[in-house]
């Protein structure tokens, strides 16, 4: 129903924002480039819960800095997300039937013709109910290792949540989907041997009690779910390692799983790389399922939040 809009003038100060009816916004054809971040909202027993909104705020600030944009303060960001969530509360799906997805957008809306930063910016937060990522229980993902198209190059924008990372890989994703895969697994763009991430989630590889995940070296997004799952896995006694993960190690793993706001923690059933296809453990006893039940439990209020990750706003 409602969106939150806040403008930033040339001096870099965001003015007080306000809620308005959701609708089209007017943009000059010469408006500058965009950058976005996201946060999630869930509800259990009538409570509206936000998962780590402050971390999403800081991530937007990092993205803004990389894209030469001013950004709202953490307080301004979190307040805008809360107001948007509460104003759209009637759209929060019933317990277990999905969540209300909150999307904050920061964009250069002032006119600019030559290459350079826009003179004015707009911060918008809108919301949409989304169903569960997995319609019929958690299904294992089938991933295709992409070798032709790269997601991000060293020094580029892969480390921040920017729209510039998504358009270049739409073709790879659509090709993988047409071949029956769920998603694409990207390799580094230099050696084409080291694991990066999937289209919108981070990736973990399990061998025995060791859980490895690609180090955030500027080409992959530092997911908030990734960070949370690393902490939960450490609490449970697993050895969590951030490093360069070779594709051969992925093909030799016991388990592979993905993490992200939309998927939560999702098991990978198969990976196809060149002419090889490997199957992984995905059962109820898997590391992935154990970590998933803790994380999703905390997010939905079913598991006690001893970490202070969840904020109830009503
Ligand atoms: N990588 C990419 C490219 C993404 O778009 C996302 C989704 N935001 C993630 C990883 C996972 O990040 P998060 O856990 O913060 O949702």
Closest atom of ligand 1 to CA, residue 260: 14
Question: What is the distance between the alpha carbons of residues 305 and 44, in angstroms, rounded to a whole number?
Answer: 13
Q: Is residue 41 within 8 Å of 53, Cβ to Cβ?
A: no
List the pLDDT tens digit at each of the 314 positions of the chain: 899 998 887 677 888 889 999 888 877 666 654 443 344 445 444 678 899 999 999 999 999 999 889 999 999 999 999 999 999 988 877 777 778 888 888 988 888 888 888 888 889 998 888 877 766 677 899 999 999 999 899 999 999 988 888 888 889 999 999 999 999 999 999 999 999 999 999 999 999 999 999 999 899 999 999 999 999 999 999 999 999 999 999 999 999 999 998 889 999 999 999 999 999 999 999 999 999 999 999 988 889 999 999 998 88
**ipTM score above 0.95:** yes
- Rounded to 10 degrees, the C-alpha dihedral 266/213/305/50 comes to -70
Closest-CA residue, ligand 1 atom 7, reads: 200
Closest-CA residue, ligand 1 atom 3, reads: 200
What are the boundaries of each domain within the chain? 2-130, 141-299
Given this structure, which CATH class describes domain 141-299?
alpha beta
pLDDT (0 to 100) of residue 163: 85
Closest-CA residue, ligand 1 atom 2, reads: 200
Q: Is 161 tagged catalytic?
A: yes
The β-bridge partners of 99 are: 130
Distance in Å, CA 14 to ligand 1 centroid: 26
The residue to mutate among 261, 263, 264, 298, having the most atoms of ligand 1 within 8 angstroms of its beta carbon, is 261
pLDDT (0 to 100) of residue 307: 95
Closest-CA residue, ligand 1 atom 10, reads: 201
pLDDT (0 to 100) of residue 156: 93
Closest atom of ligand 1 to CA, residue 228: 14
Question: What is the distance between the alpha carbons of residues 17 and 14, in angstroms, rounded to a whole number?
Answer: 8
Distance in Å, CA 11 to ligand 1 centroid: 31
Distance in Å, CA 223 to ligand 1 centroid: 5
- Fold classification of 2-130 is D-amino Acid Aminotransferase; Chain A, domain 1 (3.30.470)
Question: What is the distance between the alpha carbons of residues 261 and 118, in angstroms, rounded to a whole number?
Answer: 30
Active-site residue, selected from the candidate residues 161, 192, 207, 307? 161
pLDDT (0 to 100) of residue 120: 87
Distance in Å, CA 201 to ligand 1 centroid: 5
Pocket of ligand 1 (CB under 6 A): 38, 197, 200-202, 221, 223-226, 259-261
Closest atom of ligand 1 to CA, residue 225: 14
Region label for 196, one of left (φ > 0), alpha (ψ between -120 and 50) or beta (otherwise): alpha
The residue to mutate among 223, 266, 291, having the most atoms of ligand 1 within 8 angstroms of its beta carbon, is 223
Closest atom of ligand 1 to CA, residue 161: 5
Distance in Å, CA 62 to ligand 1 centroid: 14
Q: Which residues contact 135 (CB under 8 A, 6 or more apart)?
A: none
Identical fold between 2-130 and 141-299 = no
Closest atom of ligand 1 to CA, residue 227: 14
Distance in Å, CA 260 to ligand 1 centroid: 5
Question: What is the distance between the alpha carbons of residues 1 and 3, in angstroms, rounded to a whole number?
Answer: 7
Quickly list H helices, the chain: 53-66, 74-87, 170-178, 224-235, 247-251, 287-300
């Amino acid at each position: 129903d409602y969106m939150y809009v806040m403008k930033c003038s040339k001096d870099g100060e965001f003015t007080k924002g306000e809620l308005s009816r959701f609708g089209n916004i007017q943009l000059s054809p010469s408006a500058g480039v965009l950058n976005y971040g996201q946060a999630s909202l869930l509800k259990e027993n009538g409570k509206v819960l936000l998962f780590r909104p402050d971390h999403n705020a800081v991530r937007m600030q990092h993205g803004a800095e990389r894209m030469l944009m001013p950004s709202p303060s953490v307080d301004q960001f979190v307040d805008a997300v809360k107001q948007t969530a509460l104003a759209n509360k009637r759209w929060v799906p019933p317990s277990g039937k999905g969540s209300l997805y909150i999307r904050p957008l920061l964009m250069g809306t002032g006119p600019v013709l030559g290459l350079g930063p826009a003179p004015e910016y707009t911060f918008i937060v809108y919301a949409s109910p989304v169903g569960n990522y997995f319609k019929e229980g958690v299904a294992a993902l089938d991933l295709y290792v992409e070798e032709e198209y790269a997601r991000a190059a060293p020094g580029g924008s892969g480390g921040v949540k920017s729209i510039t990372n998504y358009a270049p890989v739409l073709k790879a994703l659509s090709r993988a989907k047409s071949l029956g895969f769920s998603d694409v697994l990207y390799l580094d763009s230099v050696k084409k041997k080291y694991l990066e991430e999937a289209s919108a989630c981070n990736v973990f590889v399990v061998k025995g009690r060791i859980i490895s995940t690609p180090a955030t070296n500027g080409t992959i997004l530092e997911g908030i779910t990734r960070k949370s799952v690393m902490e939960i896995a450490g609490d449970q006694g697993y050895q969590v390692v951030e490093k360069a993960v070779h594709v051969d190690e992925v093909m030799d793993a016991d388990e592979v799983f993905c993490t992200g706001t939309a998927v939560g923690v999702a098991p990978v059933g198969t990976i196809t790389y060149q002419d090889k296809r490997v199957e992984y453990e995905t059962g109820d006893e898997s590391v992935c399922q154990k970590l998933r039940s803790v994380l999703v439990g905390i997010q939905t209020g079913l598991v006690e939040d001893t970490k202070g990750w969840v904020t109830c706003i009503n």
